[in-house]
């Protein structure tokens, strides 16, 4: 069972999240931020991971802490559910079109966190949410999941489409990367024999 539950309790947020890497794409999300809920539901649906997440944060200040910390919680849950990462495909990539928008996402479950973010927005906000917070979410996710993550919006005009294509791209790349490869016979997908933050390849 590749399932994990993570809780994060600070003075700024209280969050509990659960992920099942071999689920059906069900999402039960409640962060208090409507647009973020919508994006995390997309992440669950298109990754085929079951994700449940409930967050209480200091939204009276702004959305920063809640957005960032949900990235940490979901990422940590992915890392815990993967365990030693034996038998997985390891790599995943996706090209996601949404009307006028096209976004490319590539991912390596390397246990070496790194984010390359090449996404620009033409507006500072989507509804009440600052568009700069999306990078914060992806950075937190990559850090705590232990993944190398490249997100590049190749072109697009509609900011909603740009953000949504990033989350859907992550979902499809993650689905591919965490799938069990029957040809590996449970081996760790690295010539080093382990996927550790201090070892390469």
Over residues 27-45, the pLDDT tens digits come to: 999 999 999 999 999 999 9
- Give the strand pairing for 101-108 and 125-126: unpaired
Q: Is residue 174 exposed (0-12), middle (13-18) or buried (19+ Cβ within 10 Å)?
A: buried
Tell me the average pLDDT across 68-77: 98
Torsion of CA 126, 9, 141, 100, to 10 degrees: -20
CB-CB contact of 58 with 141 (8 Å): no
Residue 53, SS3? Answer: strand
Residue 24, SS3? Answer: coil
- Which pLDDT belongs to residue 198? 40
CB-CB contact of 165 with 43 (8 Å): no
- Which pLDDT belongs to residue 132? 97
Rounded distance between C-alpha atoms, residue 33 and residue 181, angstroms: 36
Read off the pLDDT of residues 143-156 as tens digits, 9 standing for 90 and up: 999 999 999 999 99
- Which pLDDT belongs to residue 185? 64
Backbone angles phi, psi at 8, to 5 degrees: -135, 115
Q: Rounded to the nearest 10 degrees, what angle do helices 159-178 and 64-82 cross at?
A: 20
Read off the pLDDT of residues 98-116 as tens digits, 9 standing for 90 and up: 999 999 999 999 999 999 9
Proportion of the chain above pLDDT 70, given as a percent = 92
**Structural domains of the chain in order of their starting residue, each with its CATH number:** 3-184 (3.30.230.40)
Q: What is the pLDDT of the chain when averaged over all its residues?
A: 93
- Which pLDDT belongs to residue 192? 55
pTM of the model: 0.92
Question: Which residues, in sequence order, are bridge partners of residue 8?
Answer: 15
pLDDT greater than 50 at residue 77? yes
- Which pLDDT belongs to residue 1? 86
Of the ranges 51-55, 112-116, 121-125, 187-191, which one carries the lowest mean pLDDT score?
187-191
Strand stretches in the chain, DSSP E: 3-9, 13-20, 27-30, 50-57, 91-98, 101-108, 114-118, 125-126, 129-130, 148-155
- Which pLDDT belongs to residue 182? 87
> Where does the pLDDT of residue 57 fall: very low under 50, low under 70, confident under 90, or very high at 90 and above?
very high
């Amino acid at each position: 069972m590749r399932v994990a539950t993570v809780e994060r309790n600070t003075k700024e947020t209280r969050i509990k999240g659960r992920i099942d890497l071999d689920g059906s794409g069900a999402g039960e999300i409640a962060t208090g931020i409507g647009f973020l809920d919508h994006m995390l539901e997309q992440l669950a649906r298109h990754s085929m991971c079951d994700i449940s997440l409930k967050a209480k944060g200091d939204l009276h200040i702004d959305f920063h802490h809640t957005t960032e910390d949900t990235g940490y919680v979901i990422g940590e849950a992915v890392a815990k559910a993967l365990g030693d990462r034996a038998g997985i495909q390891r790599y995943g990539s996706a090209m996601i079109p949404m009307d006028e928008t096209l976004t490319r996402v590539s991912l390596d479950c390397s246990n070496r966190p790194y984010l390359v973010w090449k996404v620009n927005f033409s507006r500072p906000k989507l509804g009440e949410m600052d568009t700069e917070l999306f990078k914060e979410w992806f950075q937190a996710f990559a850090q705590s999941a232990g993944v190398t993550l490249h997100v590049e919006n190749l072109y697009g005009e509609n900011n909603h489409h740009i953000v949504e294509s990033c989350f859907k791209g992550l979902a499809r790349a993650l689905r591919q990367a965490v799938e069990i490869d029957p040809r590996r016979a449970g081996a760790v997908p690295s010539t080093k024999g382990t996927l550790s933050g201090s070892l390469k390849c």
